[in-house]
Chains A and B, each alone.
Chain A
Amino acid sequence: MRIQATRIEQLDRKFPGLRQAVDLLLDGGATLDGVQALVKERTGETVPNQTLSAYKQKRWLIARLRLKDLKETFQAVKEELGANAISESTQARLLELIDQAMRAGAALDPHFLLKEQRLWAVHTANLEKIETEKKRLELQIEQSRQALKEATDEAKEKASSGEQLTAADIDRIRERALGLPPKQEAVPMSLGHRNFPRNPELKTADVPMPNADKLLAEMSEEERQRRSR
């Protein structure tokens, strides 16, 4: 749609600054007669009040209302967010986003905007948490690497001095560098998990078997003899 220029806009092309001067007068609450006098003084042309009124309604007032709307929406969002919570440049960016949305013709629903803003704040907070966790893990990895280096250096020193590396040394390395428990010898099945860790004093015969008598009673004579052999 082609927008037809008003007389003030046409004159503004020939006399730069005329539109600005008219707007300033209207901002100050001047009457159309006052505006007419100014235009006459600047251009020498007597513009009828009806033409001036058309400019006032179609251009000046529309711009004023848009600005008013923009400022009110911005203030509402700012109050909701807490003005002190965001920096000046972030506030300016927020104002720009509202302005762009209004220019794009969006039926701006402050509640929708506030919801979006809150979601944005939540995402930012989550991102910060992830970053902190990442830093913590990196630090942990670095500490482990350092401990592993120290433990292996120590083992290397011991080995190069002619000493034998013992299982206890390996356990110490595992524990210091990787935080792992000492390495256990495999537990014989006959001892069962209840005797873990292995007790060297313990013999298979010592392992308690609560159902032994019952089992023996149920066993046939032949089987009993075979087993005793």
Chain B
Amino acid sequence: MKKKTPEVRDIERGEILRFLVEFYPDAVTPKMLLYHLDDAALSVSEEALRFHIVYLTQKGFATFELAPKVVGEETEIRSVKVTPAGVDFVDRRKKGEVGIRL
């Protein structure tokens, strides 16, 4: 299988963030993200999606909730939602802009 370029991975993360913003402040399940990426011709594996979710979380753009730990199994991500910082990113606010105007 052809290895994805960093650019494609960036685009995938962008699409994930865009989809999460649609449902802000609600959360969505990873399965919904997989379906959406399929629709957008950006299919990813479950592992790749998990990688992207953790990446976006560590960047402060998303948060996720884990299912209770089962011994011997990898912890499952139950739901993901975008943070206000993620919304700002999709809205292309520059650093320092608070997202409020008076």
Residues of A whose CB lies within 8 Å of any CB of B are 9, 12-13, 16-17, 19-20, 23-24, 63, 67, 71, 74, 88-89, 91-93, 95-96, 99, 103
- Residues of B in contact, count (CB < 8 Å): 26
In the complex, the answer to whether B32 meets A95 with C-beta atoms within 8 Å is yes
In the complex, the answer to whether B23 meets A95 with C-beta atoms within 8 Å is yes
Q: Mark the stretch among B11-19, B45-53, B54-62, B93-101 that contacts chain A.
A: B11-19
20 contacts between A and B (CB under 8 A): A9-B41, A13-B41, A16-B8, A17-B14, A20-B14, A74-B26, A88-B26, A88-B79, A88-B81, A89-B27, A89-B65, A89-B67, A92-B26, A92-B27, A92-B32, A92-B80, A93-B29, A95-B29, A95-B32, A96-B32
B-chain residues with CB within 8 Å of residue A88 when the two chains form the complex:
26-27, 65, 79, 81
Asked if B39 CB lies within 8 Å of chain A CBs, one says: yes
Instruction: Evaluate whether A103 and B35 lie within 8 angstroms (CB atoms) in the complex, with A9-B41, A16-B8, A92-B28 already known.
Output: yes
Assembly CA distance A72 to B42 (angstroms): 26
B-chain residues with CB within 8 Å of residue A67 when the two chains form the complex:
22
Asked if B74 CB lies within 8 Å of chain A CBs, one says: no
B35 to chain A minimum Cβ distance, whole angstroms, is: 7
In the complex, the answer to whether B29 meets A20 with C-beta atoms within 8 Å is no
B-chain residues with CB within 8 Å of residue A99 when the two chains form the complex:
32, 35
